[in-house]
Structure 1
Amino acid sequence: MSTREILAVLSEAHAAIAAGDAGRALAHTAPDDVVYDLAPPLVQRTGTTELAAWIASFAAPPVLAHHDPVVHADGDVAFVHALTSMTGDKGGEFTLWFRSTIGLRRIGGRWLVVHRHESVPFHMDGSFRAAVELAPVV
């Protein structure tokens, strides 16, 4: 079943990040992936070196989790959207919620991430401050 396989790819990447293993986290990422990440610049490609440095910037590797992911798959193309939480410690513990959309293609029989887009809403009051205090209502 494609849905189970796709979600397993995303879960494995999160488990690898929590273990501090950047290479393992990128094992299901296409070499020409495009990333619209939370951090600047506007468009980036995340390699093992960059991801390892990001993981190392935390007191301990961060823990990420997709909540209620929705998978849309047709043939060899799929996308997933979810609210994602990231818990970590960068001079203080925090949990940040953000929106994620991940595009995947089945290449050579494997689902690979070809695009990732993450965003945090911002306040529309003219301050343009990121709304990092938001969390889903449960």
Structure 2
Amino acid sequence: MTSDIEQIHAVVTDVEAAMETKDVTRLLARYAADVVKYDLAPPLRHTGNDPEGLARWFAGFDGPVYYKVTDLEITAGEDVAFCHGLNRMSSTPTGSPEGFTLWFRMTAGLRKENGTWLITHEHTSTPFHMDGSFLAATDLTP
């Protein structure tokens, strides 16, 4: 039997794999139906799962979407947990001559439902320059 920490780590690893293969069904299986997300993209808050929107987003990239969670830290209780890490995403937008790499921050809350850990809250963000330009600091790396 695996520990809660190992099970949550497996959730994160499965999210990485689903992102790389653009597998909407596999990805959404790791999220609770009532998930609340504070994503990089507008609007300020997303609620619930949106398979059509996710499929459209994946379609905006040529080839895989490389996605890796680094520096992952997990804290788990009996039926709630949270984790945080630094995420790296790389891909090539459809029609673009070159790809991009973006590092961003992630915090996730999880809940154990019927013995399975599901992501119920996810917050991702990029820092921005505090010099008055308010430009996203997308050039940062750990």
TM range (shorter): over 0.9
The CA RMSD measured in Å over matched residues stands at: 0.9
Offset at 1:113?
A: 0.5
2:80 to 59, 74, 77: 77
Q: Report the TM-score, using the length of structure 2 for normalisation.
A: 0.93
- The 10-residue stretch of structure 1 (16-25 or 45-54) with the greater mean CA deviation from structure 2: 45-54
Is 2:57 aligned against 1:54?
A: yes
Query: How far apart in 2 are the matches of 1:4 and 1:17?
Result: 20
1:118-137 matched pairs, under 5 angstroms: 118-136=124-142
Q: Deviations over 1:22-67 (max 9, x none)?
A: 1111112100000000000000134211111111111123111110
Which residue in 2 is equivalent to 1:43? Answer: 45
Which residue in 2 is equivalent to 1:98? Answer: 104
Paired positions, count = 136
Query: How far apart in 2 are the matches of 1:23 and 1:132?
Result: 29
1:116 to 96, 108, 122: 122
Report the secondary structure of 2:124's partner residue.
strand
Q: Which amino acid aligns with 2:72?
A: P
Report the secondary structure of 2:104's partner residue.
strand
Query: How far apart in 2 are the matches of 1:21 and 1:70?
Result: 25
Structure 1: state its 5+ residue gaps.
Answer: none
Query: How far apart in 1 are the matches of 2:12 and 2:51?
Result: 17
Which residue in 2 is equivalent to 1:25? Answer: 27
- The 10-residue stretch of structure 1 (53-62 or 68-77) with the greater mean CA deviation from structure 2: 53-62
Q: Which amino acid aligns with 1:124?
A: M
Query: How far apart in 2 are the matches of 1:13 and 1:49?
Result: 17
Offset at 1:16?
A: 1.1
**What percentage of aligned pairs have identical amino acids?**
46
Which residue in 2 is equivalent to 1:64? Answer: 67
Structure 2: state its 5+ residue gaps.
Answer: none
Offset at 1:104?
A: 0.3
Q: Report the TM-score, using the length of structure 1 for normalisation.
A: 0.95
